[in-house]
A and B are shown apart, each in its own frame.
Chain A
Amino acid sequence: MAMNREQTAGASIRISRLEKRFGNVSAVDGVDIDISAGEFLALLGPSGSGKTTILMSLAGFEFPTAGNIVIGSEDLTYVPANKRNLGMVFQNYTLFPHMSILDNVAFPLKMRGVAKPERYARAEEALATVRLAGYGERFSSQLSGGQQQRVALARAIVYRPRVLLMDEPLSALDKNLREDMQLEIKRLHAELGITVIFVTHDQSEALTMADRVAVLKDGRIQQIGPSRELYERPANLFTAGFIGEMNFIGVTVESVGEAIAVSLPSGEHWNVPSTSAVDPLQAGQKAVLAVRPERLQIGGEGAAFAFHVKLADIVYAGSALLLIGHLPDGTEIRARLPGASDLSTLTPGATAVFSVPKEAILLYAGGAK
C-alpha cells in the first residue's frame, strides 16, 4: 500500500496508574505501561486478570476509575470510543451481516465522510492487504472464520489508525488457521508500522508475536519485557509458573555470600551463583529454586548441581521424552529430554540423577506452593 509514512507510523501510548473498579471488584489495579511507537505489545494473563478491561479503557468503551491514557500526545482517558481513531479487532469477528464485505471495510471511511469512490478504492486496497482482494461482493456468512477475521482486520486498518487493538482475535480459530493468522498479523504490523496491543491468554501466541509481553494477574502487571527475558528470567514466581513449564523446588538458604548455599529436599547442598537469585535472600530463609524441565540433564553424579529423583513415569512422545519423578518431600520434578536419549537403565521406581547447568537455576524468596 502506498501510504504516507507519517500517517502510517504508529503512535506511542502511555498508560499511567490505571485503575478500574466494578463495585468492589478491582479489575485493573494501578497499571503503568509505556509503549513506544510501532511496538507490538501482548497483554497476557489468566482469565479475569484485567486484560480486556485495559484494552476497553484504551478503546474508550470503559472509562477508568483513576489514572490516564495518553496516545501520541493526546490525553484520551475520557474521550468516547468513536472519537479515538483507533483500530479494533474483536474476538468474534463482528462483521456487519447485512453489509457486503466491501461495505464493511468501507464503513469507517463512511463514518469519516470519505466520498464513495475513494471509500471503495481504499476498502479494496485494504482487502488486498489482508489477501482478500476480490471478496468485496460477498457477505460475511459466505466466508470462513479466518477470512472473516481478516476482513475485520482490514476494516480496522482501512482508515490508517496509528494504534491497533485486538482482544483475543484468534481464539475462535482452530490451531492451523491461528498460526497462519499470527504470521499475517505480524506481517501487517511490520508493513504498516502501526502500534499493536494484542490481548491473549495463550502464552505461546504472546511469546511468538510480541516485541514485549506484559504479564497480568489480578489487575496488576507482574512483569513486562521481551519474550526471552520473560522466559529465561521470570521476575517472580507467578510469571515463572505462568510462562512455560517450570519445576519449583522448596529449598533452605544456608548462607549468602559470593555464592548462595542452599539445601535441597533430596539432601544435596548446592552453591548457587548469586546471579541466580531473582529476589534478595538471607541465610536461614525458605526459598524456591526454579528450573525449566528442558534444562535438566540425565546423569552427572558428582557435578556441582546434581540431585536425586525417584522416577514415577517415563512418557515417550516422539521428539521428546518426559520424565516425571518426585523428591522425598513429594515435590514433582519433570524433565524433558531429547527423544533419542538412552534410558535403558531407567525404569519407574528407580532413582535417577539429574544435573542442571548453573545458568538455568533461578532462586526466589518464599516457600514452594
Chain B
Amino acid sequence: MKPSIDKGSLALGTYVYAVLAFIVIPLVIVIPMSFGQNDYLEFPPKGFTLRWYAEYFSSRQWWSATSLSVEVAFLTAICASVIGTAATYAMVRGRGRLATLFQILLIGPIIVPHIALAVGLYLFFQTIGLSGTVPGFVLAHTVLALPFVVFTTTAALGKVDASLEAAAMSCGASRFSAFRLVTLPLILPNVVSGALFAFIISFDEPVVSFFLSGVRYKTLPRRMFEDIEQNLTPIIPAIATLLIVLSIVVLLGAHLMRSRTKN
C-alpha cells in the first residue's frame, strides 16, 4: 500500500497543476469578453461595461442557482471530508484484507466517466425520489469528491505514528478522543485541503448536476448551460470569471494547507 500513497500524491499534484493551467489559458479569452458592451459574445470585445456582473448579482434566478450550488458544495465538502477521513483511517490503520478492495472502490469515481455515473445515479435517484433534491446532489457530489479527500489524507495519516494513539489511550483517552486530540490535529491541514477540493469539485460539477437538476432546483453550472442554449450573453463569461477567481483562491488555499503539514 505504501507506494500507492506516493503515486496518489503525485497524481493529485499533477491534477492540481493541470487544472491551474487549464484555468489560466481561458482567462485570456473569457475575462475580457465578460466586459463587452454588446449583448452577444464576441472576441475581442468592444467597449467596457460592468453591466453583466450587475445583471448576475441582481438576478433572482442566478442567485437561487448560486445559493443552491454553495449549499451543495458546502455540504459535500463536509460529507466528503468526514467520510473520506474515516475511510482513510480504516484503510491505513485497519488490519482488514478488504482494505485494498475498499480503496479501489473509493477512488473508482476518478476512473469511471462522469456521464456513466450520472446516468446511473439519475435512474437510481428517480426511483427513490432523491433526484433534484439537495441530499441527492450532495450524495452524488460526495461520491465524486471522495477520492480527492482520500488522496490528501492517506499520505498524511501514513506519517502519523500509530503508537501515538496507543499512548493517548494509555493516558486515559478513549479511542475516539485519542483520534480527535492526537491524530486529527496532526492531519487536519490535509483534511481541510481535501474539503476544499471537494467544495470546488462540487461547485463546478456540470455533468451529474445536469442529470439530477429538476425544474426548480438547478445548480449554477446547470443554469449556465441553460443560458448558453437560450441567450448566450456575456453574463456567462462574467460568471465564468467569478468561478475562475473562486477556484484559484480555493485551490491555492488547499495547496497552502497541504504544504503546511509537510513542515
Contact = CB atoms under 8 A, between A and B. Distances in A.
Q: Do A and B come from one complex?
A: yes
Interface of A: 59, 61, 80-83, 85-88, 90, 92, 94, 96-98, 107-108, 111-112, 152, 155-156, 159, 165
A111 B166 CA distance: 14
B170 A59 contact: yes
Interface in B39-74: none
The residue among A61, A87, A96 with the most chain B CB atoms within 10 A of its own CB is A96
Given A59-B170, A61-B166, A81-B166, A94 B161 contact: yes
B168 interface: yes
Interface stretch (B122-130, B171-179, B228-236): B171-179
Contact of A82 (B161, B163, B172): B172
Given A98-B185, A98-B186, A81 B163 contact: no
12 contacts: A81-B166, A82-B171, A82-B173, A96-B164, A96-B167, A96-B182, A107-B168, A107-B171, A112-B172, A155-B171, A156-B170, A165-B170
B20 interface: no
Given A96-B164, A98-B186, A111-B177, A86 B171 contact: no
B169 interface: yes
A97 B186 contact: yes
Judged by DSSP, the binding face of B is helix
Interface residues of B, number: 19
A345 B182 CA distance: 68
B9 to A, nearest CB: 21
Interface of B: 161, 163-164, 166-175, 177-178, 181-182, 185-186
A134 B168 CA distance: 23
Contacts of B171: 82, 107-108, 111, 155, 159
The residue among B171, B175, B178 with the most chain A CB atoms within 10 A of its own CB is B171
A94 B163 contact: yes
B136 to A, nearest CB: 38
A37 to B, nearest CB: 21
A352 to B, nearest CB: 52
Nearest to A82: B169
A81 B170 contact: yes
